[in-house]
Structure 1
Amino acid sequence: MFLGAYHFDGDPAALLPAYDKLLAAYAGDVDLHVCVVRGDGITVFDACPSAEQFRAFSGGADFAAALAGAGLPAPRTEEVGDVHVARLREEATTS
């Protein structure tokens, strides 16, 4: 499993509804997914089966269209690396 990050810059109050819309479109297709609110935007950590699949997905036309359709700007992407261990104490939470 490979972890990537998408950094969306802007007002988090404006970005979060668009992010929620995007996430709803991919609801059943996520293995490891975390959205973190920053003072100047949001960062989404998302896992793919491999680095190659992360690159293909994050640079693909379908993802770009999904972002635009949800109202999100193009993110800065970051290849974080291979996941050694992922553990979650509770079910997924939202705030």
Structure 2
Amino acid sequence: MMFVGAYHFDGHADELLPAFHRLLDGFPPGAVQLLLCVGTASGLTVFDTCPSRAEFEAFSGGDTLRAALAAAGLPRPRVEPIGDLHHAVVAEKASR
């Protein structure tokens, strides 16, 4: 099972997206298992998965993410734990 959390970045989605792409480029291949980035009226919301809630909480509040966000030029997000993922359907082709 995986745990889903959301990171809410305030601002204009078009202005936040280049920084978000820089953030992703900084992670090693295979580090991201399932991630959705959604443009909203208030900015970007990123739904991310971790193996467990404990790992999500450690990662989302940790120095590694904080440094990666700063290096990419993203503002500090509002972090929201969502819950356990019970089912997902993912197409073969990812979009960016």
TM-score class, shorter-chain normalisation, is over 0.9
In the TM superposition, what is the alpha-carbon distance from 1:39 to its structure 2 partner? 2.0
Give RMSD over aligned pairs. 1.0
Q: Which runs of at least 4 in structure 1 moved beyond 3 Å after TM superposition?
A: none
Q: How does 1:4-83 map to 2 (within 5 A)?
A: 4-26=5-27, 28=29, 29-83=31-85
The structure carrying a bigger helix percent of its residues is 1
The answer to whether residue 4 in structure 2 is matched with residue 3 in structure 1 is: yes
Q: Give the unaligned 5+ runs of structure 1.
A: none
In the TM superposition, what is the alpha-carbon distance from 1:68 to its structure 2 partner? 0.5
**CA distance in 2: counterparts of 1:32 and 1:68, whole angstroms:** 22
Percent identity over the alignment is 53
Q: TM-score, normalised by structure 1?
A: 0.94
**CA distance in 2: counterparts of 1:23 and 1:63, whole angstroms:** 11
